[in-house]
Amino acid sequence: MLTIIALTVLGVVILAEGMLGKKSWHLPTILVGLLVALVLALYGWNRNLHYYNSMLVVDNTSIAFSSVLIFTTFIIFMFAGHYYKDVVRPLDDIYAILIFALAGSVMMTNFGNLIILFLGIETLSIALYVLAGSHKEAITSNEATLKYFLMGSFLSGFLLFGIALLYGASGSLNMDEISRYTLREAGHLSPIFRTGLFLVIIGLAFKIAIVPFHFWAPDVYEGTPTLLTAFMATVVKVASIVALFRLFSNCFSSIREIWEPTLWILAVLTILVGNFTGIYQPNLKRMLAYSSISHSGYMMLAVLAFSARSSGSLLLYAAAYSVATVTAFGILILIRGAKGNDLYTSFEGIAKKNPLEAVCLTIALLSLTGIPPLAGFMAKYYLFTTALEQGYLWLVILAVSGSAISVAYYFKPIVAMYLKEGDGIKLEAGFAFKTHLIFLTILTLVLGLLPVFLINLL
């Protein structure tokens, strides 16, 4: 609760600074404000607070995931200074909307009532429609925002219709009431409730970009300004997965047999289609879009195999995925700044003049692939063992083969950087940018060596 208030106030403060014309104050204020929000979030640890008749429920799981979201936004903002260095126009609107989107995603991890779930999703989405189109002069950015807006509002309609049907059948919007209803009526659920459940799955699947509701993702990711794509691929994805996880583990765990086959098929489709299509992408940005799709398939395993350990392994996975993806997007910003595009050919031979950047990108991509001893491997290991303990043998086999396929595209930029001859361009990364890259890479290594720390938190 305090976190959401702090983030909202931070956004308003940024707008006020913009009004006063203090452009150089934005980033320091944001970084300090995000740290304050992080501390406020951790302040509620082990307290299990309920606000406003359980509309917001702040327990340890939601605190851990909100902290991951705030931290990811923090590391994305560390790149903002470099990304917007040539932009003359005031940036307070973009920064403030980004912070408001973060507030929406924190609501999505803390909800105890379907109203708050819907409000969180819409706060996040409406902010993102604006951010996707924030490069007004570029026609690709315009196209991305229109596609995202039309698809997003259409699919929120499905989510909303689903929530309305759940309300009509169970008589309440509160999660505890709904879970009591499902427990009571487990054997003979009304068709209204079932329809509502599937409409909610469709609505959330769109927000997470699960196959077959993923068509918007690569286009929107490509058209959106790169820094904001990093936000979409990490914060938005993690927040939506956590919302799905929270909803299903708290409300619908007693009627598993109804939704389990659907989610199983969606997870398998997401992993296979995401990985196979990823191979055929011409540039790194679209490749990362498909990579994010397939990773949401892996994270669905935690939703399916719900047990005492699955929230811990989902937390580790979300953290490992976010850090590695933000690193990759950092290098992408550099490459696009130097060459104007991010085709694989632009990566040829850059390792010679820029060893640090090449190593950082390589470690990030290896972590996304799941090579030991990096964070991505440990995250996949714990997630897959949790799923195996719950008896999802075939799902795990398909997921492992999917991650073997992913080697084919994750290694393309690595091969281009180290084994091909290029024009030997020097990337202009400042000292702060390089330090941040090193910090993120060390974080990936540390998460891989000490994963138990995060797992045992929950």
Partner 1 sequence: MNSINASLQFVPISYYLFFCTVLFCIGVTGVLIKRNALLILMSVELMINSINLLLAAFSTYLNDPAGQIFVFFIMVVAAAEVAIGLAIIVVIYRTTHSIDIDILNKLKW
Please report, as ranges, the residues that interact with partner 1 according to CB under 8 A.
115, 118-119, 122, 126, 129-130, 133, 136-137, 139-140, 142-147, 149-150, 153-154, 157, 160-161, 164-165, 167-168, 171-173, 192, 215, 218-219, 222-223
Instruction: Identify which of residues 223 and 312 has a Cβ nearer to partner 1 in the complex.
Output: 223
Shortest distance (Å) from residue 367 CB to partner 1: 27
Tell me which amino acid residue 360 is.
C
What distance in Å separates the CA atoms of residue 204 and residue 248, rounded to the nearest whole number?
Answer: 11
CA angle, 452 then 328 then 345, to 5°: 145
Contact, 241 vs 314, CB < 8 A? yes
For residue 374, what is the DSSP state? S
Shortest distance (Å) from residue 131 CB to partner 1: 11
Shortest distance (Å) from residue 457 CB to partner 1: 33
Buried b (16+ CB within 10 A) or exposed e, 72-102: bbbbbbbbbebbbeeeeeebbebbbbbbbbb
Instruction: Identify which of residues 164 and 343 has a Cβ nearer to partner 1 in the complex.
Output: 164
- Which residue carries 């540390």 as its tokens? 446
Shortest distance (Å) from residue 349 CB to partner 1: 28
Token code pair at residue 128: 């993102």
| Nearest of 455, 162, 186, 188 to residue 308 by alpha carbon | 455
Instruction: Identify which of residues 286 and 380 has a Cβ nearer to partner 1 in the complex.
Output: 286
Instruction: Identify which of residues 12 and 150 has a Cβ nearer to partner 1 in the complex.
Output: 150
Instruction: Identify which of residues 136 and 188 has a Cβ nearer to partner 1 in the complex.
Output: 136
Question: What SS3 class is residue 141?
Answer: helix
Shortest distance (Å) from residue 165 CB to partner 1: 8
Sequence-ordered list of residues with C-beta below 8 angstroms from that of 85, at least 6 positions apart, any chain: none
Shortest distance (Å) from residue 215 CB to partner 1: 6
Burial class (CB in 10 A: 0-12, 13-18, 19+), 247: buried
Shortest distance (Å) from residue 160 CB to partner 1: 5
